[in-house]
Amino acid sequence: MLKDVNLNKVFVIDIETVPLYEYFEQMPLQMQELWDSKTQFLRKDDKTPSDFYERAGIWAEFGKIICISVGLFHNQKGKLNFRINSYFGHDEVDILNQFSKLLSQQPKDQILCAHNGKEFDFPYLCRRMLVNNISIPLPLQIAGKKPWEINHIDTMELWKFGDYKNYTSLNLLAAIFGIPTPKDDIDGSMVKEVYYQEKDLQRIVTYCQKDVITTAQILLRFKGLDAIPSENITLVK
């Protein structure tokens, strides 16, 4: 199947998320109670709902998207190139509207690719669009579709080869394939601190773009192709 995938029809994406509020105590009381209920079986005995709030960005009900990076393959002078654009900021509605507009302009056979996208990126995007009253663009719609009608590629799922017990991080796949790690500065557990305490959104955007590049390079390995040299990768300002 992958050999038949036209890379020029693939968007490689990654999202970065943070809790809706910097501190647990800033949430409305009802949401605090719902957070307590949502996480009670996940918290260790010594973790209070407030202590566990560091992870709130993982859940679309309690988090928001601050960056979406999109990578597109294209051919230039007989060589495969990769261009990345990012939608980011403090206004989630604006970010989602820009991304939705991009997807709405694509053909019906546009393919979306992400690492762990089927469990995280794709459903998170859909949920936050619904919360913000934004129509879900066709490439993200899966309701009523047969599995082979859904144009989603998940590099983590590809690596499972049918083994549903296994979670393999993007960082680990990069290491075994000899691809530069995207976690050389920060990792996902640090995004909340960098966003709220350090207020360094651009650092998070750079991290998000690195994840997209790494996912794209891994996809190429699955297709039996060489990695794209860094000089053929463009970051759109």
pLDDT digits (tens, 9 = 90+) for 61-111: 999 999 999 999 999 888 999 999 999 999 999 999 999 999 999 998 999
Which among 139, 142, 127, 134 has a CA at the least distance from the CA of 103? 139
pLDDT top residue among 46 and 205: 205
In a domain, 28, yes or no: no
Identify the domain containing residue 161 by its residue range. Answer: 2-20+62-235
In a domain, 148, yes or no: yes
Cβ partners under 8 Å of residue 131, min gap 6:
60
Q: Encoding tokens for residue 156?
A: 């983590």
In a domain, 43, yes or no: no
Distance, first Cα to last Cα, the chain: 34
Residue 106's alpha-carbon distances to 11, 12, 139, 166, 219, in angstroms, are 10, 14, 8, 33, 21
Q: Encoding tokens for residue 64?
A: 């928001």
In a domain, 125, yes or no: yes
Residue 75's alpha-carbon distances to 20, 103, 146, 227, 229, in angstroms, are 40, 21, 31, 14, 13
**209: burial class by Cβ within 10 Å (0-12, 13-18, 19+)?**
buried
> Under DSSP, is residue 29 helix (H, G, I), strand (E, B) or coil?
helix
Query: How high is the pLDDT of residue 1?
Result: 59
pLDDT (average), residues 191-196: 96
Query: How high is the pLDDT of residue 184?
Result: 78
Residue identified by tokens 């038949």 is: 4
In a domain, 103, yes or no: yes
Phi/psi for 14 (5° steps) reads -150, 145
Q: How many domains are contained in the chain?
A: 1
In a domain, 31, yes or no: no
Cβ partners under 8 Å of residue 166, min gap 6:
159, 160
Residue 166 has pLDDT above 90, yes or no: no
Q: What is the CATH number of the domain that holds 174?
A: 3.30.420.10
In a domain, 39, yes or no: no
pLDDT (average), residues 100-124: 95
Residue identified by tokens 């899966």 is: 142
User: What number of other Cβ atoms are within 10 A of residue 121's Cβ?
Assistant: 23
Query: How high is the pLDDT of residue 111?
Result: 96
In a domain, 174, yes or no: yes
Q: What is the pLDDT of residues 25-68, one digit of tens each?
A: 999 999 999 999 999 888 877 688 998 999 999 999 999 999 99
Q: What is the rounded (10 degree) CA torsion for 177, 180, 183, 184?
A: 140
Which among 149, 143, 148 has a CA at the least distance from the CA of 130? 143
